[in-house]
Amino acid sequence: RLRVGLVEVEQKFKVPSDLAQQVAALNGRSLGARSFRDEYWDNEAWRLCTQDCWLRRRDGAFELKRPASGGSERRRSGGETAEFQEITEEAELVAALKELGALDSAVGVGERLPPALRSAGLAPFAAFGTRRASYQLGRVQLDVDEADFGHGVMEIEVICDGSPSALALARQDIGEAAGLLGAEPLEASRGGKLETYIRRW
């Protein structure tokens, strides 16, 4: 299925110890820091996680991350980029949750979302805070995250349209930035904040 709209291409790395200096030396710039709190939601049957879809409430606002390609075109394993679409618009979010079988078709748009999700059996299964420092380096953004349970990770990401050429360029830009920084890729299934949180609790 063709999915239009913006796609986030991202890859996770160990946090380089001297990142701020490296970014400055490469003529990058700081985008500042912020903190946010995430809850990840799913139902008892893990209907969303098992489809590699991630319903998140960040500082109170729901968003859904789902594989941009539908999940089948590219295998995901260690040291690879991942491509996700982020849905934040409420009608689109409700439609996507219905399509994924996590929300009853009777739920209407405009119903208050948290109670509608709760009565559909969805509830938070993980919650943690993150402090994020961001940098712009050429076409890529670097997010350096420190989760409040003591886990650090750097993400290199590019937002692009989902066309094959844009995706290829994004992956290339991420690879080049990682090379310039000497950043060490993390196995995606182990290095992420949520993955680490789940393993610890």
CA distance linking residue 121 with residue 119, whole number of Å: 5
Distances (CA, A) of 19 to 38, 127, 170, 183: 25, 27, 21, 9
For the CB of residue 95, give the shortest distance to ligand V4E in the complex, in Å. Answer: 20
Cβ-based nearer residue to ligand V4E, 30 or 119? 30
Smallest distance, Å, CB 150 to ligand V4E?
A: 16
Residues in the chain: 201
Query: Cβ 52 to ligand V4E, closest distance in Å?
Result: 5
Q: Which residues bind ligand V4E (CB under 6 A)?
A: 10, 52, 54, 65, 76, 80, 82, 84, 155, 188, 192-195
CB 82 within 8 A of CB 12: no
The nearer residue to ligand V4E, 23 or 82, going by C-beta atoms, is 82
Based on CB atoms, which residue is closest to ligand V4E, 80 or 90? 80
Residue whose CB is less far from ligand V4E, 31 or 107: 31
Distance CA 124, CA 55 (A): 9
Nearest to 142 by CA among 195, 104, 180: 180
**Least distance in angstroms from the C-beta of 109 to ligand V4E:** 24
In the complex, what is the shortest distance from the CB of residue 120 to ligand V4E, in angstroms, rounded to a whole number? 20
Give the CB-nearest residue to ligand V4E.
188
Q: What is the spatial distance between Cα 141 and Cα 28, in angstroms, rounded to a whole number?
A: 10
Taking the least distance from each CB to ligand V4E, the nearer of 89 and 104 is: 89
- 125-150 per-residue burial string, b: 16 or more CB within 10 A, e: under 16: beebebebbbbebeebbbbbbbbeee
Q: At 122, which amino acid appears?
A: L
